[in-house]
Amino acid sequence: MTVAFGIDIGGSGIKGAPVDLETGEFTAERYRLETPQPATPKAVAKTVKSVLAHFGETTEGLPVGITIPAVVQHGVTRSAANIDKKWIDAPAEELLSEGVGQPVTLLNDADAAGLAEVYYGAAKGNDGLVLVTTLGTGIGSALIYKGVLIPNTELGHLELDGFDAERRASAGVKTKEDLSWPVFIERLQRYYSHVEALFWPDLFVVGGGVSRNANKFLPKLKLHTPIVPAELRNRAGIVGAAMAAADALKG
């Protein structure tokens, strides 16, 4: 069994678990702590350390991967659409490695979820172009071609009718503006048609909490591309982070 540790930094919680990379299953129960507020890099690094420490010796020596809802370029976080602005241009991978006391691999949250869906979930075995989108507070995206991730696509920030797309069609906006399903579906239709016309993927996978209600909206979207709900749900970030950590070791 090859095991790596994954940690998912989200707006409200920081969650971690060891992952069996042969199956994509957790080898111990997931542990979650509240995200500190304000969620500065320093404060988050401390909480990440506590999440890992919860598992004690069982995780010693395991590669550690971490996801964050930001662009991550060579270990540096470059954006902060829905997180503390202190992350912009922060040497985040280094800070988190220091905090945890061992080297870590950092990647974008949607990229991690995308990897997990392609290797263990809804797009398992798809050897074409897969576009995974996560509908949460924002919209995250992961573009994976023949199993290889093209990182930091940030398709939640496409401009749509003069708006940042995630300000129109995220699950967060549906809740905030109390959008009815028909209105939300209209916005999703506009969004996915636009993305489809630009990327022509072989498959769309839709994740995020709202995908629990996938039957309410996915069948209503008129697209050329098959569109399916994510399967790993809230496990995807942790699993993808663990995968990235193990992969980084291969060099």
Site residues (vs ligand BGC, CB under 6 A)? 69-71, 79, 81-82, 108-110, 134, 136, 138, 140, 154, 156, 166
**Closest to 66 in 3D by CA, of 79, 75, 58, 57:** 75
Q: How far apart are CA 154 and CA 111, in angstroms?
A: 10
Q: Which is nearer to ligand BGC, 63 or 237 (CB)?
A: 237
Q: How far apart are CA 239 and CA 245, in angstroms?
A: 10
Handedness of CA 239, 107, 166, 45 (dihedral sign): positive
Cis peptide before 229 (omega within 30 of 0): no
Least distance in angstroms from the C-beta of 42 to ligand BGC: 20
Least distance in angstroms from the C-beta of 89 to ligand BGC: 15
Q: Which is nearer to ligand BGC, 121 or 140 (CB)?
A: 140
Phi and psi torsions of 154, nearest 5°: 50, 45
Q: Which is nearer to ligand BGC, 59 or 174 (CB)?
A: 174
Least distance in angstroms from the C-beta of 207 to ligand BGC: 10
Q: Which is nearer to ligand BGC, 24 or 237 (CB)?
A: 237
Least distance in angstroms from the C-beta of 155 to ligand BGC: 9
b/e burial code for range 123-157 (CB count within 10 A of at least 16 → b): beebeebbbbbbbbbbbbbbbbeeeebebbbbbbb
Least distance in angstroms from the C-beta of 45 to ligand BGC: 19
Q: Which is nearer to ligand BGC, 88 or 248 (CB)?
A: 88
